[in-house]
Amino acid sequence: MAICALLLLTAVQSYWVFRMYNDSVTDFTRRVESAAYKSIYKAFRMDAIPGINAAEQINIDLNRFALYFEPNLLELDALQPYRVEIVDASTMRTMMVRKESELIDNPLITNIIIDDDGLFILRLAIKVPYASFWGRMWGIILCSVVIIIILSALLIYLIRTMFRQRTLEQMRRDFTNNITHELKTPISVAVAATDALRNFSADSDIERRSRYLEMVETQLTQLSAMVEQILSVSVEGKRESYKPEPFDLVQTICSIKEELELNSDKSLVFNIVSPAQVVISADKFHIRNMLVTVIDNAVKYSQAQPIITVYISQKQSHISITITDNGCGIAREHLKYIFDKFYRVPNGEQQNTRGYGLGLYYARKVVDMHHGEISAHSRVGVGTAITIKLPTDGTED
């Protein structure tokens, strides 16, 4: 509907400009013809009164005609280069010519019978000041174009906003459905294990009881991790939660490596390429959680044997952390959205991997809180590299 309205407005504006231009040409034609008729009666038909008395004699003299015609054109603001001829009406042969201009481009041609018997025709060719007409209308045309451009820009912005809102709404629905399912699963398993402990004499079987209790503990730990990940997004807009302190970044990543190697159900290859010690002043809690999130993503979306490499380099006032994996990779059209809230790449193996679209969003918020930068590079089927740049003193570069 909005597009139709814009097209209709464009058509109306174009028609309006065309009508104004056409009216200008018509008015110029009328003024030229008026000046020509007045000059004919004064120069050729001196004793004639138009509509009352016919001319008793006609004296055709184009120089005399010009003496009357040019002042009349000037009076009517229509003076332009012209050429005038006297033509035999029966043979259309030119009998007399007076040239004010040798060459006239796209002239207005008017034929006027100058005697009562219709024997002679005055043929007038005069230059039409098209450029002058457009010059008078440029302000109106410019305003019309500006209005159409502004309305087009607003329409494009409106359409993009609508599609963006639609996408966000779809991501929110997906997040709600996903998190409902993810929260429901550990609760159901824990309830089932607890019910088995209570109703199936698990107390008498120490091994079974231990297995059920371990199952409950695992599911509750998983549930706690889910809730913590969701709540960690509360860092958004809360600058007061930023508590910088100096700590060794290499040591922190080594502790993350040990935890992953201990708890991962995959055969993990974890490499760290860095100086022996890199001290950074930052919020240790959020930086560690952010690194855990990014590295955990690298493990989840990697092959059967994940190969994770963390490169750390220090340059003057900032450090750079690059985390690479050998995962399925991310297509270019999705890469620019992976740091958006609730966004998950809707294809490939990632559909079978748990998540809420909050991990990388949280990572971006933590990096922003530290006045850093985060970016991603990826090739489908090869892997992904996440690069994090942070100031060493916790302030903006």
Condensed to tens digits (0 to 9), the pLDDT of residues 47-66 reads 555 555 555 567 788 888 88
Q: What is the DSSP letter of 106?
A: S
Name the token pair of 93.
Answer: 């042969």
Other Cβ atoms within 10 Å of 51 Cβ, number: 5
Say whether 46 sits in a helix, a strand or coil: coil
Residue 334's contacts (CB-CB under 8 Å, 6 or more residues apart) are 345, 346, 347
d(CA 357, CA 54) in angstroms, rounded, equals 96
Residue owning tokens 């302190």: 245
Element (DSSP H or E) covering residue 65 = helix 62-75
Q: Where are the domains of the chain?
A: 2-128, 133-234, 236-391
Strand order in the sheet with 318-324: 269-273, 307-315, 318-324, 383-391, 373-379
Task: Look at residues 327, 351, 360 and name the one whose alpha carbon lies nearest to residue 174.
Answer: 351
Report for 137-141, 302-306, 364-368: range of highest mean pLDDT: 364-368
Q: What is the DSSP letter of 53?
A: B
Interval 319-345: pLDDT, tens: 999 999 988 888 888 888 888 877 777
| pTM attached to this predicted model | 0.48
Q: What is the DSSP letter of 358?
A: -
Least confident of 67-76, 219-228, 383-392: 219-228
222: amino acid identity, one letter: Q
Name the token pair of 261.
Answer: 């190697």
Other Cβ atoms within 10 Å of 357 Cβ, number: 20
Interval 134-176: pLDDT, tens: 777 777 778 888 888 888 888 888 888 888 787 777 766 766 6
Residue owning tokens 């009164």: 49
Residue 3 — very low, low, confident or very high, per pLDDT cuts 50/70/90? confident
Per the prediction, the chain carries an average pLDDT of: 79
Other Cβ atoms within 10 Å of 157 Cβ, number: 10
In contact, 250 and 312? CB cutoff 8 Å: yes
Other Cβ atoms within 10 Å of 346 Cβ, number: 11
d(CA 299, CA 92) in angstroms, rounded, equals 95
d(CA 110, CA 139) in angstroms, rounded, equals 31
283: amino acid identity, one letter: D
pLDDT at 2 over 70: no
Say whether 67 sits in a helix, a strand or coil: helix
Say whether 84 sits in a helix, a strand or coil: strand
Say whether 335 sits in a helix, a strand or coil: helix
Which CATH architecture does the domain made up of 133-234 adopt?
A: Orthogonal Bundle (1.10)
Task: Look at residues 388, 370, 262, 261 and name the one whose alpha carbon lies nearest to residue 323.
Answer: 388
d(CA 236, CA 161) in angstroms, rounded, equals 22
Listing DSSP states for 233-258 in one string gives GGGTT-GGG---EEEEHHHHHHHHHH
d(CA 387, CA 397) in angstroms, rounded, equals 17
Fold adopted by 236-391: Heat Shock Protein 90 (3.30.565)
d(CA 180, CA 364) in angstroms, rounded, equals 25
Least confident of 45-49, 207-211, 389-393: 45-49
Where does 200-248 have alpha helices with state H? 206-232
